[in-house]
Amino acid sequence: MYRCIVFILILFASQVRADYGYTYSGDLNGDGIADRIMSGPSAMFGNSGGPFIIYLSKADGTYINKVVAFHPKAIAFEKYESGRNSLWGYWRHGTRQGTLFKLSLDGEFKVESITINPIGSNLSSGIYSTVFDKKSLLKIKRVEGYMPPDYPWGKG
């Protein structure tokens, strides 16, 4: 009986530690208030990435949010003097193709996208390298023991 309880506790503890998530905090829309990006449950992530919620601050002190699919190592920030900043992301479809997209951070979350093949030495790989250079990549933190935001992930 004792061995069974120890085994169950070890199994439960290893499952709890297996959960992880991704977070970012910083001023994305240029209003001086920290905005946040938080990932969904780790079980929803694969080679392409997974779901994230972007929380953007508004002038009245509230936040608006948008759920977007990102790969945590392919989220770039583009800052403009006008304040109409953008996030760039890449969603992998397969080994040789994916979608490069630009998301406006003006509260409307307008998306523009193109399909590219960033493998090898071609125009697509040059575009990918330019968008996701070291200066523009967001410093997304991987968090162990993560609890995702309360949201109906995958339902609707």
Per-residue pLDDT of 19-70, as tens digits, reads 899 999 999 998 899 999 999 999 999 988 999 999 999 888 899 999 999 9
Structure tokens at 141: 């933190």
Question: What tens digit of pLDDT does each residue of 98-140 get?
Answer: 899 999 998 899 999 999 988 777 888 889 899 999 999 999 9
CA distances from 84 to 19, 33, 80, 108, 131 (A): 35, 15, 6, 11, 17
Cα torsion at 112, 115, 118, 122 (round to 10°)?
-100
Which pLDDT does position 16 carry in this prediction? 46
